[in-house]
Amino acid sequence: MWEATLKPDVISYSAAISACEKRDQWQHALALLGEMRVAKLEPDSATTLGSARARRASSGSGLWRCFARCGRRSWSKTSSTYSAGISACEKGEQWQRALTLLREMCEAKVESNVISYGAGITACEKGRQWQHAVSLLHDMWNAMLGTRAISYNAGIGAVPAHYAAIRVCEVSGQWAKALDLLESMLGARVDTAAAKNPDAGRYLHVFQAGGPMDVFKHVILVALLQQMTSDVDPFTFIDTHAGAGVYDLNSEESLRRRRFEEGVLRLSRAADSCGRGLVADYLDAVRSCNQALGAPQRAMGIYPGSPALAWQWLRPQDSAVFFEAAAEPYESLRRSVALLGRDADRRPVLLRDDSYLRIALGHLPWPSGRQLVLIDPPYDSVQSHATWNVYIIRRLLQRSPSTCVALWYPLVDEEQVASLHGQVRSLAGRSVLVAEMRLENSLPGGSALQGSGMLIVNPPPAVHAQLLAALPGLGRALRAPDYRVLWL
Ligand SMILES: C[S@@+](CC[C@H](N)C(=O)[O-])C[C@H]1O[C@@H](n2cnc3c(N)ncnc32)[C@H](O)[C@@H]1O
C-alpha cells in the first residue's frame, strides 16, 4: 500500500494485525500496532483484540507491560480497549493495575460491563484480594441493574465473575462470604443453566475406578450402608455424583492407568490378612456384583461404583436417587441400573442433572425421612466445588437435621482441608466423623492423587468403631500406612 502511495487506515491495519495474529506472527502484529500509534490512528475493537492476542503470544506475564508501553492514553477510551487492558493486567497478575484501570474507566465515564468487571475480579482472585473481589462484584451488579434490565447474555456473563469471587473468598477462609455469594448468585435469577458448575462433565471416573482412593471411599460407604440397614425403618440413599455405576477394568481407559492394580486387586490378594468384617464384606460385594453381571467365579474384572454397591444393600422398603450430570457416564449408569435392578418396582430414580443446583433450589424428589447422602465430586475440579459442597450440606441439614451426609475430599492442601473441617463442623453444630488415608511415599504435587478423606455428618454411632477396626488392615493392604479416624 505504501509503495502504491496509498495510506493505510484503521480498517487495513485491523485486517493486517488480525492476519498476523492468526498466523502467530505476533512480532509483526505488534510492529503494525506501533505504526498505528505513529500515524495517530486509534485502534478499534478488532485491532485491540488481535493485538492483545499477539501480546499474549509474545509473553504471558509481560502482556500488561506491553499494554502500558503501547501508551493507553493514546487509545480510544472504549469499553473494549479498557477491557483488553484489564484482561492484560489479569493475565500478568497485576491486580492493583487492573483496579486502577477500572477506576479510570469509571472516571472517564466509559461504560463498564461484565467483561471488564469479570477480568478485574479474576485479577483480584489471582492476587487473593477477596475484599476487592467482593466489592467489584457488588459494583458489577449495581452497574448492570442501574443501566437496564439484566439481559440474558449479561446474566450468563456474570456467572464466571461470581465463581471467581466465591473461589477467592474460599481460599482466604471467608466461608460465610463465599456461601452468601453463592446464595446471591442463585437469588439473582441468572439463568440457572448458566449457574451450573463449569467443570461438570469434564471428568471421567473410569480412569480412577478401583484405585486405592476409590477402595477407601467404598469401604466407608459399605460401613454406612450396613448401619443404615441395621434399622428396619426405610431410608433413601442419595448419590449426588453417581458416575457410571459399574466400570470395566479391562477397558482401554482403565488399562491406561491401571489404578485398580494398587487398589482392588492388591486388596483382594491381601484379603486373608484383613480377616472377617468390613473389608471382607466390601470384597464380597465386589465379587457378587461381578457374578450378577455374568463374570466368571471370583473374577474382579468389573468394579462396582457407589450406586452399584448401594444397590446391594438397599431393601424393598428403601429407595435411591442417583444424580449424574454428564451424558456419557449417565448413559452407562442407566445401562448398569437396568442390569443390576432386576426387580422392576425397585428401580432407583435416575436424574441427569446438576445435583448442586437441584438441592440448592429445593427440587428434591425424595421424602424428608431417614437419608444417607454421598457427595463425591470429581477430584480435578474439587476447588470449584468446595463452596457448593458446604452449601448443599447446609441445605440438606436445614431440610432434615438428622440426615447422614458423607463428603469425599482429596488431601492436597492441608490449609484448605483444615478450613473445610472447621466450616462443616460449625454449620453442622455437632460432632463430625472424619477418616483419612494417605498412600506410602506420597509426594506433594505428584500426578496421581495420594490421599483422600471422608467427612461424615450424623454418622450412625457404630461406624466409628467399624472404621477403627478396619483401617489398619486396609492401610497395610493398600500400602497406605498413614491413616486416621477422628471426631471434629
Ligand atoms: C468421582 S465421580 C463419581 C464416582 C461415584 N460416586 C463412585 O463412587 O463410583 C464424579 C461424577 O460426578 C459427575 N458430576 C460432576 N459434577 C456434577 C454435578 N454438579 N451434578 C451431578 N453429577 C456431577 C461427573 O460427571 C462424574 O461422573
Interacting residues of 415 by C-beta distance below 8 A, sequence separation 6+: none
Q: Which of 326, 342, 312, 351 is nearest to 200 (CA)?
A: 326
Instruction: State in Å: Cα 241 to ligand 1 middle.
Output: 3
Question: The pTM is what?
Answer: 0.80
Pairwise CA distance, residues 360 & 23, whole Å: 46
Ligand 1 proximity of 267 Cβ (cutoff 6 Å)? no
Among 322, 328, 325, smallest CA distance to 305 is for 322
| Cα–Cα distance, 340 to 402 (Å, whole number) | 30
DSSP 67-81: HHHT-GGGS---HHH
For residue 316, what are the contacts with CB-CB under 8 A and spacing of at least 6? 343, 346
Q: What distance in angstroms lies between residue 324's CA and the mean position of ligand 1's atoms?
A: 6
Measured by CA distance, the residue closest to atom 20 of ligand 1 is 354
Of 217, 241, 391, which is best to mutate to test ligand 1, by the most ligand atoms within 8 angstroms of its C-beta?
Answer: 241
Helix (H) or strand (E) holding 420: helix 414-428
Q: Which atom of ligand 1 is nearest to the CA of 305?
A: 9
Q: Is 378 close to ligand 1, i.e. is its CB under 6 Å away?
A: yes
CA of 325 to the centre of ligand 1 (A): 7
- pLDDT in the model for residue 146: 65
CB under 8 Å to 288, separation ≥6 — which residues? 312
CB-count burial class (<10 Å; 0-12, 13-18, 19+) for 267: buried
Is the CB–ligand 1 distance for residue 409 below 6 Å? no
Q: Whose alpha carbon is nearest atom 26 of ligand 1?
A: 243
> Do the beta carbons of residue 391 and residue 182 sit within 8 Å?
yes
Distance 177 CA to ligand 1 centre (A): 26
Nearest CA to 239 out of 227, 259, 221 is that of 221
The answer, yes or no, to whether any atom of ligand 1 lies below 6 A from the CB of 306, is yes
Cell of 93: 497478575
The reply to whether ligand 1 has any atom less than 6 angstroms from the CB of 197 is yes
- 473 close to ligand 1 (CB < 6 Angstrom): no
Distances (CA, A) of 187 to 182, 191, 313: 9, 11, 38
pLDDT at 293: 85
Question: Which residue of 205, 354, 388 sits with most ligand 1 atoms within 8 Å of its CB, as the best mutation to test the pocket?
Answer: 205
What local confidence, expressed as pLDDT, does residue 275 receive?
77
- How far away, in angstroms, is 378 Cα from ligand 1 center? 6
157: Cα separation from own chain's centroid: 19
- The pLDDT value given to residue 431: 82
Per-position pLDDT tens, the chain of length 488? 655 666 777 777 777 766 765 555 544 555 566 666 666 666 655 555 555 555 554 444 455 565 655 555 556 677 877 888 888 888 888 899 999 989 988 888 888 888 889 999 999 999 999 999 999 999 888 887 665 555 666 667 788 888 899 989 988 888 889 989 988 888 775 555 555 555 555 667 877 889 999 999 999 999 999 999 999 999 999 999 999 999 999 988 888 888 899 999 999 998 877 778 999 999 999 999 998 888 777 778 999 999 999 999 999 999 999 999 999 999 999 999 888 876 656 789 999 998 998 998 888 888 888 999 999 998 765 555 788 899 999 999 999 999 999 999 999 888 889 989 999 998 888 789 999 999 987 555 555 678 999 999 999 999 999 999 999 999 999 999 899 999 99
Nearest Cα to 108, choosing from 120, 96, 100, 117?
100
209 C-alpha vs ligand 1 centroid, how far in Å? 12
Q: How do 319-323 and 404-410 pair as beta strands?
A: unpaired
Query: 375 alpha carbon to ligand 1 midpoint, in Å?
Result: 9
Query: What pLDDT shows up at residue 67?
Result: 60
**Helix (H), strand (E) at residue 154:** helix 152-171
Buried b (16+ CB within 10 A) or exposed e, 307-332: bbbbbbbbeeebbbbbbbbbeebbeb
| 346 neighbors 331 (Cβ within 8 angstroms) | no
Burial class (CB in 10 A: 0-12, 13-18, 19+), 432: buried
User: Whose CA is closest to atom 4 on ligand 1?
Assistant: 243
